[in-house]
């Protein structure tokens, strides 16, 4: 279970409680005519974005979010394919992954969707995984949290606090979240459960349509429900996903009925899906020696969907066990047949760094980045190896350009901070360190870093003005966090 989330819920709860207590003061200019996306009287879209950003910053600091460029790239690309087919998309969606074996996913304000590694690992194909993402996208487009608030405007603040605290905690710690909901009176608890089931049915209906329109097999939804039902029967306690997404038998039947209205679709297996599953196992589950045995047996028995994915997992396991020679041999073989595959290039870079063959990695990455100048995997890998070779000027230039487009990327900011530190640029290092703290809502520490940076600015008046302005921005952000 993810224990640190409890601290986030306390802060988030105060935000939501203040917001619900001042419902009448909310600007209604964003009222929407569609039945499925009402609730602007409870919370405006602008405020939804602000709250979503505040929650995301706290999640970065306290939840086990994976800053893995490859998995981030994969899940964001998959999510974007679904969002492109959704209606009522009001803001960019951000998909992120938590390192947790629970089969779970959750959505919250501002288009933020979290996926647990356990969900990806237990999905049997990409359509099953996409069905869950489509479901969560639907929760956002239908504004289910805002509608929950609106449905309870007549409740007392204490009941609202109990309900929202439970909902937020249930995002990442379902058992604790449902317990929090149950502490309210029986009628309130039953009402929240019924409303949740209505939301789930609507998200199923909308999500299956998105899934089909995006080119996936709509049967992925019903088959994934089958996985959940089967696993639930084998456990003494409900699965995490089922605690936040009630799954009565009627819901499975409804999903199968909806799917029947679509033409059957034979969707080819996705190599990237299987590479992502393999990476999760090799990097985040078990230990290197156990994984070497596991993947070696799969390769030997040919019990794989893609041989490349099994070999990739074996290479990652060898690398983790510091057996660089067999790892390199496998990766070079994979790159020979697919030289632009990001999964293979990333591992090749890691091996090159470990074996002091930096220039080979730089050459390969530089050749690829010409065609994809802002790709996160290529940019962050190349910047990392350039820092190792002390080519700080090129590394910082690369990272600064990337951050102009992706300012919230934690790993890019951390790499830039490391580059400035290693090159002795203390003014710039403290400025970037402040941005890192701001990304996790640690505004007092961010302001402290900027005060330190100011001391290094000496008589550079323009730089001093810029730092003072950023300090004021962080103070405003902190005040907004406290008064939302």
Question: So which residues are the catalytic ones?
Answer: 136, 204
Identify whether the C-beta of residue 77 lies closer than 8 Å to the C-beta of residue 93.
no
Which of 170, 175, 182 has its CA nearest to residue 108? 170
Rounded Cα gap, residues 476 and 346, in angstroms: 39
Could you tell me which residues are beta bridge partners of residue 116?
98
Give, in degrees to the nearest 5, the angle at Cα 57 between 54 and 60: 150
Could you tell me which residues are beta bridge partners of residue 113?
95, 107
| Cα 378 versus chain centre, distance | 19
Q: Where are the alpha helices (DSSP H) in 36-156?
A: 45-62, 69-83, 117-122, 126-141, 144-151
Which of 7, 6, 87 has its CA nearest to residue 442? 7
3-state secondary structure of 115: strand
Q: Pick out the residues of the known binding site.
A: 135, 139, 200
In the block, which residue shows the tokens 């790892």?
327
| Cα 126 versus chain centre, distance | 17
How many other CB atoms are there within 10 angstroms of residue 483's CB atom? 9
Which of 345, 340, 338 has its CA nearest to residue 362? 345
Taking CA atoms, 438 is separated from 76, 434, 442, 478, in Å, by 23, 6, 5, 9
Q: Pick out the residues of the known binding site for Zn(2+).
A: 135, 139, 200
Identify whether the C-beta of residue 109 lies closer than 8 Å to the C-beta of residue 93.
no
How many other CB atoms are there within 10 angstroms of residue 155's CB atom? 17
Could you tell me which residues are beta bridge partners of residue 450?
none
- DSSP string over 145-181: HHHHHHHTTTS-HHHHHHHHHHHHHHHH-HHHHHHHH
Pairing relationship of beta strands 94-98 and 112-116 according to DSSP bridges: parallel
3-state secondary structure of 217: coil
Pair of tokens at residue 471: 């300090």
Which of 91, 83, 102, 96 has its CA nearest to residue 48? 91
């Amino acid at each position: 279970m993810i224990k640190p989330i409890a601290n986030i819920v306390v802060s988030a709860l105060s935000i939501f409680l203040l917001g619900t207590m001042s419902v009448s003061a909310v600007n209604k200019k964003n009222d929407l005519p569609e039945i499925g996306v009402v609730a602007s009287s409870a919370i405006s879209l602008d405020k939804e974005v602000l709250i979503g950003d505040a929650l995301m910053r706290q999640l970065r600091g306290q939840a086990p979010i994976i800053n893995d460029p490859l998995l981030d790239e994969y899940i964001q690309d998959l999510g974007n394919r679904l969002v492109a087919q959704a209606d009522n998309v009001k803001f960019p969606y951000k998909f992120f992954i938590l390192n947790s074996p629970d089969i779970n996913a959750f959505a919250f304000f501002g288009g933020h969707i979290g996926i647990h590694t356990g969900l990806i690992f237990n999905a049997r194909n990409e359509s099953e995984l996409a069905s869950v993402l489509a479901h969560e996208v639907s929760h956002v487009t239908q504004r289910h949290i805002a509608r929950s608030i609106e449905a309870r405007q007549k409740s007392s603040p204490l009941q609202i606090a109990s309900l929202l605290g439970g909902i937020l905690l249930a995002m990442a710690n379902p058992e604790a979240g449902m317990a929090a909901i149950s502490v309210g009176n029986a009628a309130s608890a039953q009402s929240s459960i019924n409303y949740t089931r209505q939301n789930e049915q609507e998200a199923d209906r909308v999500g299956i349509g998105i899934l089909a329109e995006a080119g996936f097999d709509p049967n992925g939804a019903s088959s994934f429900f089958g996985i959940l039902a089967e696993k639930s029967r084998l456990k003494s306690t409900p699965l995490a996903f089922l605690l936040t997404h009630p799954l009565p038998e009627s819901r499975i039947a409804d999903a199968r009925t909806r799917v029947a209205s679509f033409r059957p679709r034979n969707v080819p297996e996705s190599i990237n899906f299987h590479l992502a599953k393999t990476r999760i196992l090799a990097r985040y589950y078990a230990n290197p020696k156990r994984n070497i045995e596991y993947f070696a047996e799969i390769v030997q028995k040919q019990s794989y969907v893609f041989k490349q994915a099994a070999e990739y997992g074996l290479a990652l396991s060898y690398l983790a066990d510091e057996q660089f020679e067999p790892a390199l041999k496998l990766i070079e073989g994979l790159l020979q047949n697919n030289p632009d595959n990001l999964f293979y290039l990333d591992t090749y870079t890691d091996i090159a760094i470990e074996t002091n063959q930096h220039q080979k990695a730089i050459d390969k990455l530089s050749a690829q980045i010409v065609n994809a100048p802002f790709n996160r995997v290529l940019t962050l890998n190349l910047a990392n190896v350039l820092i190792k070779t002390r080519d700080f000027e090129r590394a910082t230039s690369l990272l600064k350009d990337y951050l102009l487009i992706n300012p919230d990327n934690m790993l890019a900011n951390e790499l830039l901070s490391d580059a400035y530190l290693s090159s002795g640029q203390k003014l710039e290092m403290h400025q970037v360190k402040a941005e890192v703290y701001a990304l996790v809502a640690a505004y007092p520490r961010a302001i402290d870093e900027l005060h330190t940076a100011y001391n290094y600015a000496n008589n550079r008046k323009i730089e001093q003005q810029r730092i003072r302005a950023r300090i004021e921005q962080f103070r405003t952000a902190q005040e907004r966090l406290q008064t939302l």
